[in-house]
Structure 1
Amino acid sequence: MRARHLLRALRSRNYRLFVAGQSVSLVGTWMQQVAMSWLVYRLTGSSFFLGLIGFTSQIPTLLIAPVAGVLADRWNRRRLLLATQTLAMVQAVLLAIAVLTGTVQVWQIIFLSLLLGVVNAFDIPIRQAFVVEMVEHREDLGNAIALNSSMVNGARLIGPSVAGILVASVGEGICFILNACSYLAVIMALTAMRLSPGLHQQRPRRHILHELREGFEYAFGFGPIRSILLLVALVSLMGMPYAVLVPVFAKEILHGGAHTFGFLMTAAGCGALSGTLFLASRKSVLGLGKVIARSVIIFAVGIAAFAVSHNLFFSLMTLVLAGFGAMTLVASCNTILQTILEEDKRGRVMSLFTMSFIGIAPFGNLAAGAMADMIGPSDTLLIGSGFCLAGGALFARHLPAIREKVRPIYQRMGIIQEVAEGMETGAEVPPLVDDLDKH
């Protein structure tokens, strides 16, 4: 039954184009990410520098994403995405030139990582807000969000494995070249889209600080949105930095090389893809409250088990578990937010979600890199998993209160009252978005 719903968002032509272009581009993105991590560790042999690269690639999101959210609510989102994708392609070209000419130095990687971080700080929230414009049938929005995450993790299966082989055989430079070429696919897809002029109407503009404050007050003044943002921020700070330490585990603990690193990243991608396919097969937001709480626990258990593992096969299995929990959490939170927020604040709320997921992560990456040098990578991950478990338990405790605060919004939108209760009780209710369209 669920399989029929898995790809329903693809009936929208623009979204099909987006999926085709992004699927190619994301493979290149994962190849570059793996190759860059291995390059840094090969040049420095330092966990701290791995954390520093993670920090510089993500810290711009914390500072810039709110402004990007305002722009996403003001301007044409397709044109903004064409600009960000072109700039990201230029960054990959510069990185490839530095590596292939043999002149690459760590400071250059840090600078180019920071440059890409600035581009992504604009790109990600704009792309999140753009999804609603590409999907012709509103009832397919939740499926489109889940499929978008599935694309990321489908590419995560291919990119790291290919990168591991290429890095071991011909070096990191070719990975950066292929990533640069992959951006052409998404640029062509965006250009080929046919969007209705009425989908993104020009809204009255006020001072940017006023719109920023309005977005913050709207998001953090409402308990369910605030709870989701804070939970994602906690997991990003304490749990997600496990990814920057994977090269250390691959080389120092599992005694492998670039191939081992690629396999470990692919295992996490397998789990993440399974999680997003599970969410894509769902017909509504029914049960997502409990899914969020449980996914945090699954993620925490996965990284804790990875931290104590000295066996490659067991490590692969633990990262499958961690990947499933992490992406199920993020995609579930994204789906609920996109369902309940007001359209004129969509860009700003999604920018805050991007801040929570990506903008907070740099501090976790930097801290994890420094702690791994001091107390070891295993203890670092165990501490992070403990905080994630505590956050998941606290969120679960507040689920009844979240349900009560969501119910009035559904009533104002004309959705039956039981939907809000169904998020936690598991009662059978009609699909949420179908009811939205009926009213």
Structure 2
Amino acid sequence: MRFWAARLFGTAGQQMLMVAVGWQMYELTGSAWDLGLVGLYQFVPALLLTLVAGHVADRLHRGHIVAACFFTQGVVALTLVLATEGHWVGRSLLLALSVVLGMVRAFQMPAQQALTPALVPPLMLPRAMAFSAAGSQAAIIGGPALGGVIFVAGATAVYGTCVALFAMGSLLVARLGYAHVAAPRAPVSLQTLLAGVQFIWHRKPVLGAVSLDLFAVLLGGAVALLPIYAKDILHTGPWGLGMLRAAPAVGALTMSVVLTRWPLERKVGARMLAAVGVFGLATLVFGLSHNLWLSLAALAVTGGADMVSVVVRQTLVQLETPDEMRGRVSAVNSVFIGASNQLGEFESGATAALLGPVGSVVFGGVGTMLVALMWFRLFPSLAQRDEMLSKR
């Protein structure tokens, strides 16, 4: 529960911080390009540091890494408090701190993902993953909303709240009763850095699960086009856009609660592939919808279906991976997640420029369903996987 609460505080702090940084950047520059740069400046350092971060997560105490990452993000938030109050905050500072956040999260994600299996028995891991996802989704829903409400009192109030959340998260993780078993102290080489990539490549169920999630989100992600749908297709206002953005998280939270109560125990591979197919179908329905409530329902279904895929993927990756390699494997998994989200937004924008917003979303939905069908053939070991914990 201590680690769960720490992740809840940390995720809420991250969500609130990004809402405030984005809003403040737009207030300062009025440039949509600069808003995009905030995300890019976080993604690039995270990508470049992936292999190193995974290696560090296997060598050092993972709880200490996560605690240090929360602490550093708290320092970033405190810097923004001082900069805002002192009237020396500006575009360059916000972009520079975005780079710092990207670097910090490059180390946080693999250590955080690899820490959960060390805290719970293997048979409890599916339920623990779903429970953890429920907390994360609650923070993803509540964090931006709370940040928006607090922003009424000014950016300083939001950043100050973030400092408190990161401090609580850091203290909770630092006090975890976790005995880290370090990986053998082999010399650092390209081979040790690439061990996570090689491991995933030679474990076909893991490769199938990770790559399936990459292509599904890459093709099916419609989040980048929600402002266009809200204004030009569904003819709703900012409140409608907020509901559209929240709908997938509501579906994901609901499904994570269901999976916590009734965890997936049999036919997990086939159910993961079926969930991706449902994700594609719901995306197609959203793309063709001109009714706000139908669109909200479709987006909620995408969130729920995606949560099934996420829980199966994360659980398979952690159960198939030896503890001494979990940091490096989790780092590669984090890159797949980041790449699918970032490149998915680019794919949506690029196809929307060619096919229009409706054509782009429909293309993505159909493409996602085709990917699910292809993966049945390409990765039979994944499709035939019965239980999370392999008998071999």
TM-score bin, normalised by smaller chain: 0.7 to 0.9
Task: Number of aligned residue pairs: give it.
Answer: 391
Aligned to 1:160: 144
The answer (yes or no) to whether the contact 1:268–1:319 under 8 Å persists in 2 is: yes
User: Structure 1 residue 351 and structure 2 residue 334: aligned?
Assistant: no
- Are the structure 2 counterparts of residues 261 and 75 from structure 1 closer, same or farther at C-alpha, using a change threshold of 3 Å? same
How far apart are 1:170 and its partner, in Å? 4.1
- Which residue does 1:409 correspond to in 2? none
Q: Structure 1, unaligned stretches of length 5 or more? A: 1-15, 405-419, 424-430
* Aligned residue identity for 1:204: R
Tell me: CA distance 1:203–1:340, structure 2 relative to 1, closer, same or farther (3 Å).
same
Is 81-90 or 99-108 further displaced after alignment? 99-108
User: Aligned partners of 1:177, 1:214: CA distance in 2, in Å?
Assistant: 40
Pairing of 1:112-151 with structure 2 (within 5 A):
112-135=97-120, 137-151=121-135
| Cα distance in 2 for residues equivalent to 1:393 and 1:26 | 34
* Contact map agreement 1:59 1:360 (CA 8 A) in 2: no
1:201/1:107 Cα in 2 relative to 1: closer, same or farther (>3 Å)? closer
TM (normalized to structure 1)? 0.78
**SS of aligned partner of 2:49:** helix
SS at match of 1:204: coil
CA contact (8 A) 2:122 2:319 kept: no
Shift in alpha-carbon separation, 1:71–1:329, aligned structure 2, 3 A: same
Counterparts of 2:164 and 2:354, CA distance in 1: 40
Counterpart-to-counterpart distance in 2, 1:42 and 1:304: 35
8 Å CA contact 1:160, 1:266 repeated in 2: no
The equivalent residue for 2:190 is 209
Do the aligned partners of residues 37 and 24 (structure 1) sit closer, same or farther apart at CA in structure 2, a change above 3 Å counting? same
Partner of 2:273 in structure 1? 293
Larger displacement relative to structure 2 (103-112 or 286-295): 103-112
Cα distance, 1:202 vs structure 2: 5.2
Cα drift, residue 49 of structure 1: 5.2
Give the Å deviation of 1:217. 1.8
Measured in 2, the distance between the counterparts of 1:346 and 1:389 equals 30
Whether contact under 8 Å (2:77, 2:163) holds in the other structure is: yes
- Please give the per-residue CA displacement for 1:317-373, whole angstroms capped at 9, x wherever unaligned: 222112112222122111112122233222211111111111443233344445556
Alignment check: 8 A CA contact 2:38 2:98 kept: yes
- My pick for the range that moved more, 82-91 or 23-32, is 23-32
C-alpha distance in 1 between matches for 2:342 and 2:10:
23
Q: CA deviation at 1:172?
A: 5.1
Deviation at 1:233, TM superposition (A): 1.8
Aligned-pair Cα RMSD in Å: 3.1
**Corresponding residue of 2:207:** 226
**Once the two structures are aligned, what percentage of the paired residues are identical?**
26
Cα distance between partner residues in 2 of 1:222 and 1:300: 26
1:8 maps to what in 2? none
Q: 2:248 aligns with which of 268, 276, 280?
A: 268
Matching of residues 233-252 of structure 1 within 5 Å: 233-240=214-221, 242-250=222-230
Aligned amino acid, residue 324 of structure 2: D
For residues 12-161 of structure 1, the aligned pairs below 5 Å read 16-37=1-22, 50-97=35-82, 105-135=90-120, 137-161=121-145
AA partner of residue 60 (structure 2): W
Tell me the CA shift for residue 17 of structure 1. Answer: 0.8
| Structure 2: runs of 5 or more not aligned | none
